[in-house]
Structure 1
Amino acid sequence: MDKGTDSLDGHRCRLLSKRGANGVLPGFVFALFLTATAHAEWPTPRPLDEGRLAVAGLRVVESRHATLVTDAASSAEIDNLPRLIDLAAPQWGERFGVEEDRLNTWRLRVYLIDEEAKFRALGLWPDKSGDFQHGLSLGYEVWVRQQATDYYRRHLLLHEATHSFMATLLGSCGPGWYMEGMAELCGTHAWDPATRKLRLAVIPASRDAAPDWGRIGLVRQDADAGKALSIEAVMRIDNRMVLSTESYAWVWALDGFLDHHPAYQERFRKAPGWVTSDEFDQSFRSVFAKDRRRLDQEWRLFTKTLDYGHDLKREAIDFRGGAPLAAGGSRRVKIAADRGWQSAGVAVKAGEPIHISATGRYVIGHEPDGAPWPCEPNGITLDYHAGRPLGELLATVDAGPGAFIEPTPIGLAADYTPPAAGTLYLRVNDAPDALAENEGEVTAVVTAR
């Protein structure tokens, strides 16, 4: 595993079926959406002889929803892994719409592996998928190889357990991009050992909060190199073959973006109802058809600016149309310092300049001791974001290839020539993870030339 980039590139997740003499779909790697398998079709985990396990150096740790079988030395972190499944189960149940009575009886067998040979000798190795590199999910059993960090061990377990939960209780995991994206999303977690509280589907607050994970850096690396994937390109990621680490990063990014964005979350969370349908992707496109252009614009912005602690609620674009200014006319608008792009309510034409002036004093950050950083629309040089002074007023138009990702600095005042016809948008310059620190607003005046 590469530190800072992380890897699930050896991950397999196959669907058992009643097809074929051996009960396994022909071939090597399959996406779960190819077959809608009923709950009852998954075999129960193989029986355990705890006496034989103990002689071989394995031990068993039980909890309400999980049985851990491992040869790893006892520690508070490892012995808590079954409890982690207990805490995750109601969150999965709520997210995927599983009834309480079915959730109550659901159990998972977890094999945490230091030495593969011990598990093979005891008949605890998957018969047909034994070459996995990091993790494997087959029905009510998951296999997880030991990892270098506590965080990534938990992440990998939650990733594989999400597959198992969806496969056994929903009957499928949907197409590859959704299946792997949801496993990555639910695997990305926050764990507080002091309070024993677990939160799934978080955007990590920092690199240190998610060691060995690295998905954010991979997406930004591609985006900065001009290789960002469109939504449709992510939806073509096919897990019937071994996925690259970059592919895992992109499916996490898409599912995370849709799951956290206030304008898209409710529709995206309908997706578990489509997982057994061959029309999953068509259903997805249908529910987002009415505002797909805006969705694609916000996705491009998200991938271009993605960072740890990304605050999608505040970064969500305030889409509102505008009206043209009369000759020599003007419009006054308030721009909040703690939000992303906001409509100025002014329709503009390509190549026809307007004048923007701005006033106001607002807070754009704080010292470690809590002292505020006061700022005006020309920004401050105590810090920079994207190569420009922090807090500087920026402008863009909601049309054209550079919409929202290639802004023009305005500062206290500037003429602005729109590169495309559309609505004018304004914001102060700041990182997506820092908007919550800001207070106050800018008063901007837009004047026709």
Structure 2
Amino acid sequence: MPFRLRRLLQNRWLIGAICGYFLLPSVALGAWPAPRTIDEDRLADAGLRIIDAEHATLVTDFASSPEVEVLPQLIDLALPHWQRRFRVKDKKVEDWRLRVYLIKDEAKFRALGLWPNQSQEFLHGLSLGYEVWLRQQPTDYYQRHLLLHEATHSFMSTLLGSCGPGWYMEGMAELCGTHAWDPRSRELRLGVMPKSREAAPHWGRVALIRKAIDEGRALSIDAVMKIDNRVVLPSESYAWVWALSAFLDRHPAYRDRFRQAPGWVLSENFNRRFRAMYARDRTQLDQEWRLFIESLDYGHDLAREAIDFNPGQPPAAGGSQRLTIQSNRGWQSTGVAVTAGQPVRISAKGRYIIAHDPSGAPWPCEPNGVTLDYHAGRPLGELLATVDAGDGAFTDWRPIGLAADYTPPATGTLYLRVNDAPNALADNEGSLEVRVKAAKQNDQ
């Protein structure tokens, strides 16, 4: 091992708790040593098997099963995804190959010299250049997640030369590890938003964020960016870096900028460049982040929840503003500027589809909502109002229904939506007509 790399390995370990990995923040391209030599006969005598794919070799003491046999092939299927995301050309990956150790009996691997020389103990998985170690996980989904998480570290460290700062390094591994796999069609998708808890058993990131929110421990974007994987991280930290990466990667207003970040992983100014990139709309970014984490759910539809910020104008004296609110979108600007403490009268009419029952029959709805189901403690489909300013922007809302006075808690632009979960907007149909005017004294 070159002296320069040996010193780096000795002095710059990064430790992570969920995956228990040890990985360098920056190693010169080409500096990682090739995987250690293996003696196939000795492995076979010890009860270990070798399973090869084009870009990965799996060494394991697991019994043969479809779930195990497919693991090295998942690396082949993930490679084009990583190439596109991290902007790595075909020529650079032609000879790229990963060695994966899937471990049930640790002693066998130690006896054969297949244990990482420099590491301390790791809880679940470990990535060192072209080698990855994985312990047995409770579900097939989470075994694949762990493989893709650690392999993302390996791809970035060997082909980009770094994984960037801790939050980005772990966020990208969590993002790429969160996948959908169809064994029949052999289709693998990375960076998905799991549709349900059952679709991602033992993953648990959504539940960890929900628990933190319920306990008043919401993290700002800046707080997530301070997560430092040079110390042992709790499970919740992995949930936060996943949430930020997923939010930025899937939001239509922020994703193109976020996807430029792989080009900065070697820069000491990564975080400074990140902040500068979002400086012009940072207030809106922070508001939408807070909305995202407070309403986070499986299948969260960020495309429909995305807010089209449109500053309002004060209504003409004695006049009113008429507008249409779509039932299949999140918060929508009314184009009406409001003043803190000065009420406006909001009235609405129309019929729209807010859901479908299991047979496919639609649930018609009017602005008062339906009591067949509730969301956030209010009737499903009810018209809601908020303002885009103050601490409660988009999270502190008031029910309107068919008509009500709304007293803004802050000066800003009035926004409206129908009450529905962020994973249930896609099957809504239709719109409602809304009128906004200054409230008269006798209307209050």
Normalising by structure 1, report the TM-score: 0.94
1:25 aligns with 2:10: yes
Distance 1:35 1:76, change over 3 A: closer
For the 8 Å contact 2:98–2:131, the answer to whether it is kept is yes
AA aligned opposite 2:360:
G
Q: Deviations over 1:110-144 (max 9, x none)?
A: 00000000000000000111400100000000000
* Cα distance in 1 between the residues matched to 2:429 and 2:397: 22
- How far the C-alpha of 1:39 sits from its partner, in A, is 2.3
Q: 2:186 aligns with which of 186, 196, 200?
A: 196
Q: 2:436 aligns with which of 421, 424, 446?
A: 446
Q: 2:328 aligns with which of 335, 338, 346?
A: 338
Q: 2:338 aligns with which of 342, 348, 359?
A: 348
The residue aligned with 1:57 is 47
Q: Deviations over 1:282-310 (max 9, x none)?
A: 01001100000000000000000000000
Secondary structure of 1:25's aligned partner: helix
* Cα distance in 2 between the residues matched to 1:34 and 1:66: 21
The residue aligned with 2:69 is 79
- How far the C-alpha of 1:363 sits from its partner, in A, is 0.2
For the 8 Å contact 1:33–1:172, the answer to whether it is kept is no
1:235 aligns with 2:235: no
AA aligned opposite 1:436:
A
1:304 aligns with 2:312: no
Distance 1:426 1:273, change over 3 A: same
* Cα distance in 1 between the residues matched to 2:78 and 2:6: 35
Distance 1:319 1:21, change over 3 A: closer
AA aligned opposite 1:41:
A
* Cα distance in 2 between the residues matched to 1:386 and 1:26: 50
AA aligned opposite 1:250:
W
Distance 1:37 1:21, change over 3 A: closer
Q: Deviations over 1:368-427 (max 9, x none)?
A: 111000000000000000000000000000001111001100000000111100000000
For the 8 Å contact 2:387–2:413, the answer to whether it is kept is yes
For the 8 Å contact 1:379–1:389, the answer to whether it is kept is yes
The residue aligned with 1:400 is 390
1:280 aligns with 2:245: no
Runs of 4+ in 1 over 4 A off after TM superposition: 20-23, 30-35
Alpha-carbon RMSD: 1.5
The residue aligned with 1:427 is 417
The residue aligned with 1:90 is 80
* Cα distance in 2 between the residues matched to 1:365 and 1:17: 62
Secondary structure of 1:143's aligned partner: strand
1:436 aligns with 2:426: yes
AA aligned opposite 1:159:
H
The residue aligned with 1:11 is none
- How far the C-alpha of 1:193 sits from its partner, in A, is 0.8
1:45 aligns with 2:30: no
AA aligned opposite 2:137:
Q
* Cα distance in 2 between the residues matched to 1:430 and 1:274: 39
* Cα distance in 2 between the residues matched to 1:160 and 1:17: 24
The residue aligned with 1:135 is 125
- How far the C-alpha of 1:177 sits from its partner, in A, is 0.2
**Between 23-32 and 433-442, the greater mean CA deviation after superposition:** 23-32
* Cα distance in 2 between the residues matched to 1:126 and 1:420: 57
1:371 aligns with 2:361: yes
Secondary structure of 1:320's aligned partner: coil
AA aligned opposite 2:327:
A
- How far the C-alpha of 1:256 sits from its partner, in A, is 0.4
1:320 aligns with 2:305: no
* Cα distance in 1 between the residues matched to 2:12 and 2:281: 40
The residue aligned with 2:319 is 329
- % same residue: 68
Q: Which runs of 5+ in 2 are unaligned?
A: 17-21, 440-444
Q: 1:246 aligns with which of 215, 236, 239?
A: 236
AA aligned opposite 1:274:
W
* Cα distance in 1 between the residues matched to 2:333 and 2:280: 19
For the 8 Å contact 1:90–1:103, the answer to whether it is kept is no
- How far the C-alpha of 1:440 sits from its partner, in A, is 0.3
- How far the C-alpha of 1:224 sits from its partner, in A, is 2.1
The residue aligned with 2:19 is none
Secondary structure of 1:190's aligned partner: strand
AA aligned opposite 1:85:
I
The residue aligned with 1:158 is 148
- How far the C-alpha of 1:104 sits from its partner, in A, is 2.0
The residue aligned with 1:416 is 406
AA aligned opposite 1:226:
G
Q: Which runs of 5+ in 1 are unaligned?
A: 1-15
* Cα distance in 2 between the residues matched to 1:193 and 1:20: 40
AA aligned opposite 1:179:
M
* Cα distance in 1 between the residues matched to 2:2 and 2:310: 50
